[in-house]
Homo-oligomer: A and B are copies of this chain.
């Protein structure tokens, strides 16, 4: 993994593991509240048992994809319960997002440009 760059890429173990794919469109307008709570949620996720990593991108049109990676389904269930509580406290999610889609998936294989250039997609 010496060619693995720091930054936006999660360092993950060999599959299998689980991915939560969260695609969303933010509501219009700036929100300090959102930024703060999103960071807080992420920090909380990082401290959860079974958390493996996260990759997250949001574009100029307020559309984002965040993929968080977990050891197993139990880790995801525990994290989701915690997140729902925190979001309920902040009275947040339905105010922050116009729409979101969540897909929970089992990662079966993985490769990178470092391990096999030219075969992405």
Question: Which residues of A are at the interface with B, using a C-beta cutoff of 8 A?
Answer: 3-5, 7-10, 12, 15, 19-25, 41, 55-61, 63-65, 67-68, 79-80, 83-84, 87-88, 93-94, 97-114, 117-121
Contact = CB atoms under 8 A, between A and B. Distances in A.
A66 B9 CA distance: 14
Contacts of A103: 12, 15, 19, 107, 109-110
B106 A105 contact: yes
Given A22-B121, A23-B67, A67-B65, A113 B84 contact: no
Given A57-B57, A64-B57, A97-B113, A20 B102 contact: no
B102 A112 contact: yes
B106 A102 contact: no
* Complex copy number for this chain: 2
A67 B104 CA distance: 13
Nearest to A121: B83
B59 A58 contact: yes
Contacts of A24: 120
